[in-house]
Structure 1
Amino acid sequence: MHERILRRVVVLGTLAILGIVGMQTYWVATTWNLNDTEFSQKAQLALYGVARQLAAENYASLPKRDIVRQRSSNYFIVNTESEIDAQRLEYLMQQELQRLNLNVDFEYAIFDCSTNEMAYGGYCYADPDRRPIAATAGNLPPDENLLYYFGVKFPTRIGYIWQKMQLVVFLSVILLLTVAFFAYSLLVILRQRRLATMQKEFIDNMTHEFKTPLSTIRIAAAVLSRDERVARDARLSRYARLIHEQYERLNGQVEKVLQIASIEKGDFRIQRERIDLQELLPPLLSSARARTEERDGHLTWQLPDRPLPLYADPLHLTNILYNLLDNAVKYGGPAPRIAVVGRVAHDHLHLAVSDNGPGIAEEHQERLFEKFYRVPTGDVHDVKGFGLGLYYVHQICRAHRWDIRVESRPGRGTTLHLRLPLSTSSEAVPA
């Protein structure tokens, strides 16, 4: 993941988290306000109903205004302008609250004119099965401007509103857990990114460091090969040739790692020029045939009898073809049978490289072009490699905007298909 893309992910993820948390906070606050307003309205309706019934029983009339006054969020004073019976008040309160489906505890007090104080009436539970507590003086202050009135307090108002918001609270908890998981995942991604960068820089530095000893080995192998005494000794000559072959193998892997590092850093540039595949491919096929015959195999090719002009980077096109042929030789079984077939259709060259190896299961084919990926073979590692060849091929094809795909079935070999656009003499080199 590039630094710019990672920065975008972090910024957009943070904005998304802040937006979601903000919306959820607004939703919870709005729901709380709605439930609080509903509670106040129901409580006032219930108290008004009680005052109306008390006035009717006393053949009195209610005040024209300010019958129910809300002194705080859970404390109300009701002006009746008539005498109040405590037992009757408690009964009517319970009836009105049940009628409005307001199942909440309450405590009440009645103003005593003789003492100018609130006479505490009692604490009533919404649940009748709960044992009532002894009446103790609650915080129900009087009103200096009224004469006949009672006060009602709802101690469990907050718990009642939270109970009404159970679904909202549950969804909020789920959202917070999701946000926490997302934030944790983001931290893990950043940590893994940092570790991957350190690993990549280490590999790149080590790969660059290999260039100097490899150059020394190449020079030493060339000197040994030209020495007359080594040439006369079959054993020493074989060792010198083996050193040169292993140098070529290791140098090829180092160059491949450096090229892939260049691609991933964005420093990679395709140097396209007009080339003819009919001139580029035969030397590669001859080399692959020699390696195939060393393993008692056979390689055949069939190409159109016409020029095959392409606009491509000659070096990277050569590396692509070499990698495809090399994979066919290595994974083609003990006696590989390799076929290279090309055909022209709709101004495109369709090139197929096939082998008769063990094939690749379908679940592994999608990951075949991933970096460092190798098809699992258990504890058997007959073919050595780093899983960079087809990754490099895929990156070069993508840079050229070529199509590449794999076709394989277990036990029936593997075919890699390339689709390359042919160029015309009047065509300009694309940028």
Structure 2
Amino acid sequence: MSRRVFRILIILSVISIIGIITVQIVWVRKAYALRERQFRQTAFIALQDVANQVGRLNGITQSYTAVTQLSPDYFIVNTDSPVDPGILEHYIQNSLRNHHLITDFEYGIYNCESDRMIYGAFVSLNANPETVQASRNLPKFSRSPYYFGIHFPSQTSFIAGHLDGWIASSAAVLLVVLFFGYTLVVVLRQRKLTEVQRDFINNITHELQTPVATLRIAADVLQSDSIFSQPERHRQYVRVVQEESLRLQKQVSNVLQLSRSERMQFTINATEVDLHELLTEAATVFHPHVTLELRAENAVIRADRYHLENVINNLIDNALKYNTAVPHILVQTRNEGNRLLWSVQDNGIGIAREHHQVVFNQFYRVPTGNVHAVKGFGLGLYYVWKVIKAHRWQIVLESIPGVGSIFTVKVGETKKTAFLNF
């Protein structure tokens, strides 16, 4: 599948997920609005029945517009006559139950003599026995001298309780969408891993074929009879065979070492190591491009000498390879509080910000550094990070393209991070 087709499928999948979620939200909102209208209409009918019962009790004919809604959960019922609170509460409870509005409510009766709502009470139809509590002050209504107000504080939960089917279906759809999204993320990761592995195979094929081809050519030349009459040329080809053999051995060793570390738990054999001694030895090997500034007071640390040497050499070697000018590499040590810090700073091509968080990943190679002169497997910095992690230290990358990079190792807590502090 081409990248273009894959990207189109990803875009369509994302649009589909967003569309499904949007449609589900719209339908749930519409279902809630429909249930809300049904609640309001049922409440109107139930309260109108209460007004009619109060009218018959007082011997008056009640109008068909006795109920007025002041807010989504607050209603005013005109009785046109005084009403006993106990009788009113009984009428309200029976009417709500008959119309299947089994929900809590609070009511208050308007007293025209004192011009205020009196006898406020909270009634729970779900409680057994009934629970009656003091009510808050309900707002007044100025269009009638005899009325009562009723408030449904649990209206939202009552309506939501009648949307169980919608909520369950929405949860099922959301679960399916989440699984689909997770599958999509896994597919993207697997595709990325496949691309990385393909690049790795291409790199390793090129890196192994180059010395093999050189060895084959050198072997053909050394087999010729005329080469023995040219001692200088003979020594040159023998040197080529030796160099290419060592190069091939090093590449195979790197791959095998990584393979073993991936199959088995990466362990270290920690002993007391003089860091200044290791850095001095590395500076001698890479002379004259390395400058030392060893400022740490006590550089004796517990570390695996073999792996620590490899880390130091790897960082310095990268600083030399990824450099288009005359290399100037500064290796420093210093104390920061109770911690020991050592760093390798170069004046190379640098690493762009977007690569800082992934430069330590396995097989990853910065695109700008993917030139023939510095071909590799993308394993060097990954190995460095694994060693730092095994020691429970911290490695920090600071880099700007065209300026250079600083890899700082802090002896202590393990963390893979990257900062820009130039």
Normalised to the residue count of structure 1, the TM-score between the two structures is: 0.49
Normalised to the residue count of structure 2, the TM-score between the two structures is: 0.50
Q: Which of structures 1 and 2 has the bigger CA Rg?
A: 1
